[in-house]
Amino acid sequence: MRTQFWGFLLFLLLLNFFCQAARPVMTIRSESLVGPQGNTTFLEGTTWCVARPGASQAELQRALDWACGIGRVDCTVIERHGDCYEPDTIVSHASFAFNAYYQTNGNNRIACYFGGTATLTKINPSYGKCSYDVSKSEVSAARSLSKDKPRWLMLMYLYIGIVLLISWRG
């Protein structure tokens, strides 16, 4: 009876693994995003998220670090030689990162908070080659996290399968 139970559990585990692995992974590429610059909403029109005037440099730096790290914004365009590197100020770099996060994470006031260091504006902050349009900027927050999921699932299922197989034989 015990071996049948473990065999059935292993069968379900493997069935689930193969069903998960067969699912197509959909990723969003920046070239495929079409729309106006900024965020167009029915009530407020087009808005962008930028650094709040008067926010301290330290607060902006913490928020920028979060956006480019945990927030998964691709900040290469605000690094040296990037289209949005100049002017090399924390306010300029934070504004780009805040807006990229805002446009790919709900386009609402919550996605433009950053601990009180950000604010919404109706004035397009784009300049020169630096476009705040999400379709022109590489925004890693728009990348699907699910592309990493099958690898993690495979390792987890493999580990569980080995443990079950060892306990089934023992």
Decide: pTM greater than 0.75: no
Q: How confident is the model at residue 12 (pLDDT cuts 50, 70, 90)?
A: low
Q: How confident is the model at residue 120 (pLDDT cuts 50, 70, 90)?
A: very high
Cα distance between the two ends of the chain: 14
Number of H helices, E strands in the chain: 4, 3
Residue 113: predicted pLDDT: 95
Q: Which of 3-7, 20-24, 88-92, 150-154 has the highest mean pLDDT?
A: 88-92
Q: Averaged over 73-84, what is the pLDDT?
A: 94
Q: Averaged over 5-24, what is the pLDDT?
A: 61
Q: Averaged over 137-156, what is the pLDDT?
A: 47
Q: For helices 149-169 and 2-22, what crossing angle results, to 10°? A: 170
Element containing residue 3 per DSSP (H, E): helix 2-22
Token pair belonging to 6: 């473990």
Token pair belonging to 29: 């590429």
Residue 161 neighbours by CB under 8 Å, 6+ apart: 10, 13, 14
Q: What is the sign of the dihedral through the CA atoms of 102, 108, 112 and 118?
A: positive
Cβ atoms of 60 and 90 closer than 8 Å = yes
Distance (Å, whole) CA 63 – CA 98: 8
